[in-house]
Structure 1
Amino acid sequence: MTKYHKITMNGKVMYREFDPTTGYYENEMITEEDLVEQLLEEAVDSEIEIDEEEIDRAINYIPSSFQREMVQNYIAYLQAVIESH
């Protein structure tokens, strides 16, 4: 995992990649905003968008009330799993 040093110069906070095996700095100094963006790009594998209104509309198209309820219960279960982590 890449390591960074937090460097404060004249009250301005910047970050710079540091290689502990060589003891040298790599690349240029970057802002905290740029560092967060870079780390998120490396860490986030995929992006999932959920439109609850679209899901509700799709569920309402299911003709069987039993099957509709099964889908709603499964979605509620998945939401509970997500919120517990």
Structure 2
Amino acid sequence: MKKITAVIPIRKGSQRVVDKNLRPFAGTNLLTIKIEKLKEVKVIDEIIVNTDSEQAIEIAQKMGVSFHRREDYYASSKCTGSEFFEHLGR
């Protein structure tokens, strides 16, 4: 059986809405909501927060999910979505 991994990309340098996933929202934040919802999906074997944000790493650890510290280039606006997802596969 194949392993299913959910990846949550969180960039601290969001340009349109700065820190949109970490800002207070409805008594929590969007990252916490995303992790909680993904934990409800029984077929997901692992959740990884892919980020360059220390705050996002702290939330991931507190919630018992994995994290991957994103390299600077892959957290920059210079990196395309295609490059980011290709890099995930390595």
TM interval, shorter chain, is under 0.3
Q: TM-score, normalised by structure 1?
A: 0.23
Select the structure that is richer in helix: 1
Structure (1 or 2) with the larger CA radius of gyration: 1
Higher-RCO chain (CA-CA 8 Å, sequence separation at least 6): 2
TM-score, normalised on structure 2? 0.22
